Structure 1
């Protein structure tokens, strides 16, 4: 079942392991490509030959990502050879316009439902694709090319090189614009409330359940607004990558924030003002405690939240 991607830039961020199967029916040969595909911020400059994107409008202002693929190409009957290519992705929300490195349009993509079927005309052949996000750790991409010049299929699988811990994390804000952070028992870092989805559970439902379990706060899934997807280092599990689906929620009016009590695996709850959150980002320590701020919160989520709240 496809995995809906609401923040495509956050989902793609970083380096993927890439494996491609190549079937050239016209030539009667086959081959493989093995390497990496890295997505990183691209310089804010537009190639001179770049026309306006021709696909569906992006669902939010575009972020520019450089997608650089490099590795080894092995074709039947030929010696292995190095191969690389670069595309420019203009990403907004769940959508993207993909351009060649010289600025020419390639195709559009939208993964809010987890899958899409983009196409591209490259005279004299037609390119048709099936793109599917299978999970936060796997993306599949199959191009079928047909026409008088080419008859081939390219099947690409992207996976993350490190094992991935997938969580739902909650940006819980009080009426006084304080961020609620928690520290789990036996750990030394404050982070957002949240945790791993249970089997068959969506990320929004997981956010609601975790908040109820950890703080006794039952808001229901409808109270949670998707606030982005982030990849980074986990606070307590070395050798893993963390993928967080973040949701923003407000503390109900009339509920005393100081009444929030730790439950389940939570040892401590703190309310951080924007000034304290900014200090935690700068120093790496939560003010008034000997404990650190979790890497993902410090490096990605808190800076974006501070920019949004001023």
Structure 2
């Protein structure tokens, strides 16, 4: 009898709370790359969790510089921009989600199969942007 791969356990909002190390590799359609290394912190707030990442971004040319971003994570793994606009829903067992930002499409695949380590791979396509961004998260 063969061992069947096990499906990842469903994730809930509370699973993400805390500090994570993050590394991100970005590859643009023209072949240029960028690397981000830093921390991601999910902290409690009245509506769910606030996600904040901060680190150093190294573009193909030039010196590294500090970069940061923030999102709101809400029950059901619904993700919002920090101004409250809906962004996407992260599938609880991992998988795909899409966000259209006129005129470009953002497609993400979450992989929770190695929890608590996980990845989020974005493929962005459209007339203004074209890149793949793979973020790896490791619990601190």
Give TM-score scaled by structure 2 length. Answer: 0.90
User: Is the CA contact 1:13–1:39 (under 8 Å) kept in the aligned structure 2?
Assistant: yes
Match of 2:131 among 152, 169, 186: 152
Q: Distance in 1 between matches of 2:14 and 2:49?
A: 11
Name 2:29's counterpart in structure 1.
25
Match of 1:109 among 70, 84, 90: 90
Q: Aligned runs of 1:1-310 on 2, under 5 Å? A: 2-6=7-11, 8-26=12-30, 28-42=31-45, 44=46, 64-91=48-75, 95-111=76-92, 114-161=93-140
More contact order relative to length (CA 8 Å, sep ≥ 6)? 2
Structure 1: gaps of 5 or more residues: 45-62, 162-310
The total of aligned residue pairs comes to 135
Cα deviations across residues 126-185 of structure 1 (Å, max 9, x unaligned)? 111110112332111000011111110000110112xxxxxxxxxxxxxxxxxxxxxxxx
Q: Compute the displacement of 1:9 (Å).
A: 2.1
Name 1:308's counterpart in structure 2.
none
Match of 2:90, SS?
A: strand
Q: By percentage of residues, which structure has more helix? A: 1
Q: Compute the displacement of 1:115 (Å).
A: 1.4
Cα deviations across residues 78-109 of structure 1 (Å, max 9, x unaligned)? 21000111000112xxx311110111111112
Q: Distance in 2 between matches of 1:159 and 1:5?
A: 18
Q: Distance in 1 between matches of 2:96 and 2:91?
A: 9
Q: What RMSD over aligned residues (CA atoms) do the two structures have, in Å?
A: 1.4
CA radius of gyration, larger in: 1
Q: By percentage of residues, which structure has more strand? A: 2
Give TM-score scaled by structure 1 length. Answer: 0.42
Q: Distance in 2 between matches of 1:41 and 1:154?
A: 27
Match of 1:110, SS?
A: coil
Q: Distance in 2 between matches of 1:154 and 1:83?
A: 15
Q: Compute the displacement of 1:11 (Å).
A: 1.4
User: Is the CA contact 1:11–1:136 (under 8 Å) kept in the aligned structure 2?
Assistant: no
User: Is the CA contact 1:99–1:106 (under 8 Å) kept in the aligned structure 2?
Assistant: yes
